[in-house]
Structure 1
Amino acid sequence: MDKHAQKIAADLLHLRGQVLSKGDPVALPLVSSSMFHLPGDPEGAAAYGRVDNPTWDALEHSLSVLEDAPCVAFPSGMAAISAALFATLKAGQTLLIPSDGYYVTRLLSDRFLSQFGVRVVQRPILGFADGGFDGIDVAFIESPSNPGLDLCDIHAIATAVRKAGGTTIVDNTTMTPFGQRPLDLGVDMVVASDTKAPGGHSDLLMGHVATRNTALRDAVLDWRKMSGAIPAPHAAWLLHRGLETLDVRFDRMCQSAAIIAPALADHPAITAIRYPGLATDPAHALAKRQMSRFGFLIGLTLDTKDRAEAFITGCRYLRPATSFGGLHSSAERRARWGDDVAGGFVRLSVGCEPVDQLLADLMTSLDRLMSK
């Protein structure tokens, strides 16, 4: 971890402590009130639970330190994505999205934004810049893509989109700001599902939008107020707690993935592997330029659907689940959701188990497949 990231990690642990008075609780209090004492002129005070909440304020302060930008919290990653898109698009404009990114972003765009007069264009992440960006009003980027782990040059695309008069949004869920900082690469807005590594314990749904553009931030905030897409105070409290250990968990997960990936790559049961940290990965050179860590996700391909399922269920230290980024290592066969991947493709999310035990478990499951 570089010195800037180390300072962020230290600051996150002591943000609240810097403003405490004698006798105040060190842990953040949970405020769930929908009403606030509000005599006279309402300006300058909390007014109503759809608009104001002290627990949100503390969370957004932590998120803003993590992102080095103002942040707005949302009740899920898709709520954050929706806010970013609805705040930046209007009828008659054109949205560019990945054809091989998170499938719910495509569903939202095709089923709803297109009905409101937004033209939706899809390109694969590897060819995201093909055709240029003239006429593109908003470019929504995923790098690494979910689930295929393809990369695109975020800085080059952000520069080209801005030159063409458009806005860039990056979904940074897979990396977190400790692994990649898209705002520093020139994008206008970042969205993320904090349900994943930032929360880390698989017990909350949350998301956020980060931007250094005041007008965009105000538009996103207005969307939250008017749509009612507000986070639950308890979820905000849980996420605030999770952020304080994010750098420790993320570091463990990335270190373990860097050990596990090359071992899996050499196993005969694996027909293909994607991990940006492998020198043989096609995205490795770009990953070294624009990412500070290689992440905790590994893409594995086995030769059949049944073998992929047997591999997952045969691991004691692997939870078959459809999310990622938690303490518990997890995996799923992504073709079951309709992603354009091989039937035997597995997205492996490396957790916080002791790496020797986890790797031995994964190899044992793979060895068992070869013996059948």
Structure 2
Amino acid sequence: MQGTYGDSTRSVKATDTERLPGSPVAPYPVPAAAYHLDPAEDDAQDTYGRRSNPTWRQLESALAQLENSSDAIAFGSGMAALTAALRVAVAPGATVVVPADGYYQVRAYAREYFTPRGVTVVEARCEQMCDAAGSADVVLAETPSNPRLDVVDLHRLAMTCRARGATLIVDNTTATPLGQQPLSLGADLVVASATKALAGHHDLLAGYAAGNHPDLMERLRTERLHAGPVLGALEAWLLLRSLATFGLRFDRQCQNAAAVAVMLRTHPAVRAVRYPGIPEDPAHPVAAVQMRRFGGIVAVELADARTVHALVERSALLVASTSFGGIHSSVDRRARWGDAVPDGFARISLGIEDTEDLLADLEQALPRT
């Protein structure tokens, strides 16, 4: 029966507690740095807070259910999960491919950490990923890309990696597990920032990795233990609490993004719009095959930076923020962070406001000429 559940039901079921008489229906946090030990037992599950935590395990079980994976590992942030995955997968002397058009800090980390260690770092745009993978040992793909929302053909990329014996890691942050299932398309590992749509309230940092290869997951869990990029128990509980409403929130965000993308395409103040869910978008043919939903982010190009600033100032609903996926709709002008985009390029993350209110607010906030 579980395979037929809708997304909101899956989100609620993923956070279920045991149905024992007298036990709480909602999960509760276990903030513990140390545990009572049995002097005669050398293989206890919970010994020290950096190694394990009951709240982590409940969260990781929920994340694995949403990603349809056999295992998931929680981290203190999305970058913590992603960099740990790269450290585990990339051997000295290897060639690693990272997105040239994805999150800018990933490129910076790859260059600064791996290049001095004899690793060849190749930066490839979405449309170059499959060709670049032909000579790689590890490939990290982000799709849809942040911030342009280009899409990588994951099935084709996975086949290329498999033919070479390369490890494929997919950053699923923008799509979320309700929008895309990279493991079913051939990825070896999924990483994501749960700070964004999964947590959804702009109030915590978290990340995770999910996969089906026991040896890879065990090495990743050991890396977390040794390096220490752990998630606090209270943050894990807050994220677990948020997951129950993830399906509802993401449904509204996708609905809002689709409506805003259609509206902006014909607005005279808008030079270009990117959203993989509209048929006119160049990423749509591939996105329509591999994505179940197209996400809550719309990329838009306005005349210049001043026009973006005026949009935020005139809007009653949009906030200026560099994160995305939260309940509040937000705008981020990406050139300020060094992305190779025009000064008037903005990433609009749609929240859970009523669609009609958002459309009316954008209409009055955008200039007509």
Is 1:99 aligned to 2:97, yes or no? Answer: no
Instruction: Out of 304-313 and 31-40, give the one that drifted further.
Output: 304-313
Alignment of 1:235-246 (within 5 A): 235-246=235-246
Structure 1 residue 169: Cα displacement: 0.4
State how many pairs are aligned.
366
RMSD: 1.4
In structure 1, runs of 5+ residues without a counterpart are none
- The code of the aligned residue for 1:334 comes to R
Structure 1 segments of 4+ aligned residues over 6 angstroms from their partners: none
1:89 alignment counterpart: 90
Structure 1 residue 45: Cα displacement: 3.2
Alignment of 1:1-372 (within 5 A): 4=3, 6-7=5-6, 9-15=8-14, 17=16, 19-40=18-39, 41-69=41-69, 70-134=71-135, 136-366=136-366, 369-370=367-368
State how far apart, in whole Å, the 1-side matches of 2:240 and 2:336 are: 33
State how far apart, in whole Å, the 1-side matches of 2:55 and 2:143 are: 31
CA 1:116/1:280 → structure 2, altered by over 3 Å: closer, same or farther?
same
State how far apart, in whole Å, the 1-side matches of 2:5 and 2:245 are: 13
Structure 1 residue 86: Cα displacement: 0.5
> 1:170-197 CA distances to partner (integer Å, 9 max, x unpaired)?
0000011100000010010000000000
State how far apart, in whole Å, the 2-side matches of 1:343 and 1:51 are: 45
Q: Secondary structure of the equivalent of 1:129?
A: helix
On the 8 A contact 1:16/1:26 being kept in 2, the answer is: no
On the 8 A contact 2:197/2:324 being kept in 1, the answer is: yes
State how far apart, in whole Å, the 2-side matches of 1:299 and 1:358 are: 16
On the 8 A contact 1:312/1:320 being kept in 2, the answer is: yes
Aligned residues: percent identity? 42
In structure 2, runs of 5+ residues without a counterpart are none
> 1:173-232 CA distances to partner (integer Å, 9 max, x unpaired)?
001110000001001000000000000011110000001011110111010000011101
TM-score w.r.t. length of structure 2 = 0.96
On the 8 A contact 2:11/2:247 being kept in 1, the answer is: no
On the 8 A contact 1:38/1:45 being kept in 2, the answer is: no
CA 1:17/1:198 → structure 2, altered by over 3 Å: closer, same or farther?
closer
> 1:307-359 CA distances to partner (integer Å, 9 max, x unpaired)?
12211222110010000000000011000000011110000001000111111
State how far apart, in whole Å, the 2-side matches of 1:52 and 1:5 are: 32
Q: Secondary structure of the equivalent of 1:261?
A: helix
- The code of the aligned residue for 1:226 comes to H
CA 1:338/1:9 → structure 2, altered by over 3 Å: closer, same or farther?
same
- The code of the aligned residue for 1:85 comes to L
On the 8 A contact 1:98/1:122 being kept in 2, the answer is: yes
Structure 1 residue 8: Cα displacement: 5.9
State how far apart, in whole Å, the 2-side matches of 1:193 and 1:23 are: 35
Structure 1 residue 27: Cα displacement: 1.5
State how far apart, in whole Å, the 2-side matches of 1:307 and 1:151 are: 28
On the 8 A contact 1:299/1:348 being kept in 2, the answer is: yes
On the 8 A contact 2:301/2:344 being kept in 1, the answer is: yes
State how far apart, in whole Å, the 2-side matches of 1:243 and 1:265 are: 32
Q: Secondary structure of the equivalent of 1:151?
A: coil
TM-score w.r.t. length of structure 1 = 0.95
State how far apart, in whole Å, the 1-side matches of 2:256 and 2:140 are: 30
CA 1:132/1:194 → structure 2, altered by over 3 Å: closer, same or farther?
closer
Structure 1 residue 5: Cα displacement: 6.9
CA 1:5/1:175 → structure 2, altered by over 3 Å: closer, same or farther?
farther
On the 8 A contact 2:124/2:132 being kept in 1, the answer is: no
On the 8 A contact 2:133/2:139 being kept in 1, the answer is: no
Q: Secondary structure of the equivalent of 1:128?
A: helix
